[in-house]
Amino acid sequence: MSGKFNNRTLLIVFLGLAGILVLTRVFTAKKAERTLDTDLVEIDTGRISTIYIYPQAEQGAELVFSRNGIAWIVSKDELSAPADKYSIGHALDELLNLKADRLVARSEEKWPEFHVNDSLGTRVLVKEGKKTTLDMIIGRFNYQPPPGGFSGYGQQYGTGITYVRNIDEDEVYAVEGFLAMSINQGFNNWRDQTICRLTKDRITKVVFEYPADSGFVAQKLDMNWTINGILADSTSMAQYLNGLSRKSHGDFADGFSPLSNPLYQVTFEGMNMDPLLIRVYSQVSDELILHSTINPESYFRITRDGLFRDIFKSSAGLISGSASI
């Protein structure tokens, strides 16, 4: 009698423990299903050979980014050009650090709402040789203002939320950051737009070559600038060179080939630097074509306002601090 009771008790205890084990596994599995896998991207930026982007800014046209040593080349249709290394580097950093903030949808019906379908999103495909390591749709972007609003000096900056979907998955994720703005750009925005990069304190000589022998030479002797032997206005020279520390332009003149000597040319020489030459060629109407040796494969359309006036100064203006040519 006692043996039967003990066996029945043990059986009940065993079944109870088994039931607890089953329930524990069920709840653990459900909890695991609810746990968000924040790592959406696994790429090695050092191994990337090619990137394909189909931005909405180009109506989904294919842009191809090919690694050329440490540089990148961007191509669209038959046109290839040096890519802006900072734009590429920033986009890759955003992709590399991409982490899911929350899951916002699980079904295809929700894709249009978050712009992660083919017609509304920007597709990004990354290859390491023949291996595809990322294939993702970058969707809608929402700006999130700071909690306390804007407060002028020392203000907090808001954050961005981008919605993304891996191409072979139904799930849509919200990620923090400005990925959509970094990726969804037109062809010319990805190109190297550099015209001028100068460090003022290195420059010791500037040679201006203008039509009708109206050019001149600005030279730094000790701490003073002179123009054709006349003392220049130090403030004007400093402002001029500071203004050229970083110049870019996005209006490319693809297909242009100079058939004559430049109308205007300025050459910057200095310590520990290669000479920088900026030339301007004549074109139809008021349009001019600019070329810089810092970006030798590109030509740019400009007018006689703005950029032209920033680069090509008059000797009188730099002596007295007045006008451009």
Q: Return the minimum-mean-pLDDT range out of 27-36, 142-151, 202-211, 219-228.
A: 27-36
Q: Is the pLDDT of residue 49 over 80?
A: yes
| Residue range(s) defining the domain that contains residue 209 | 194-320
Q: Is the pLDDT of residue 17 over 90?
A: no
Residue 41: inside a domain: no
Place of tokens 């201006």: 208
Q: Are residues 238 and 301 in the same domain?
A: yes
- pLDDT for 36 equals 56
Q: Which of 190, 222, 255 is the last residue of a domain?
A: 190
Count of structural domains, the chain: 2
Q: Which of 141, 161, 190 is the last residue of a domain?
A: 190
Q: Return the minimum-mean-pLDDT range out of 34-48, 75-89, 101-115, 202-216.
A: 34-48
* Separation CA 154–CA 156 (nearest Å): 7
Q: Which of 130, 161, 190 is the last residue of a domain?
A: 190
Residue 256: inside a domain: yes
Using 50, 70 and 90 to split pLDDT, how confident is the model at 140? very high
Using 50, 70 and 90 to split pLDDT, how confident is the model at 156? low
Torsion of CA 255, 261, 264, 267, to 10 degrees: 90
Rg for the chain, CA atoms, rounded: 31
Q: Is the pLDDT of residue 34 over 70?
A: no
From residue 26, give the alpha-carbon distance in Å to each of 22, 31, 32, 33. 6, 9, 10, 11
Q: Is the pLDDT of residue 300 over 70?
A: yes
Q: Are residues 144 and 216 in the same domain?
A: no
Q: What is the pLDDT of residues 227-275, one digit of tens each?
A: 998 999 999 999 999 999 999 999 999 999 998 999 999 999 999 999 9
* Separation CA 315–CA 17 (nearest Å): 95
Q: Is the pLDDT of residue 324 over 60?
A: no
Asked if residue 276 lies in contact with residue 198, where contact means CB atoms within 8 angstroms, the answer is yes
Nearest to 311 by CA among 207, 193, 226: 207
Q: Are residues 58 and 173 in the same domain?
A: yes
Query: What is the maximal distance between C-alpha atoms in the chain?
Result: 125
Q: Is the pLDDT of residue 319 over 60?
A: yes
Using 50, 70 and 90 to split pLDDT, how confident is the model at 7? low
Q: Return the minimum-mean-pLDDT range out of 149-163, 190-204, 274-288.
A: 149-163
Residue 7: inside a domain: no
- pLDDT for 10 equals 53
Q: Are residues 221 and 274 in the same domain?
A: yes
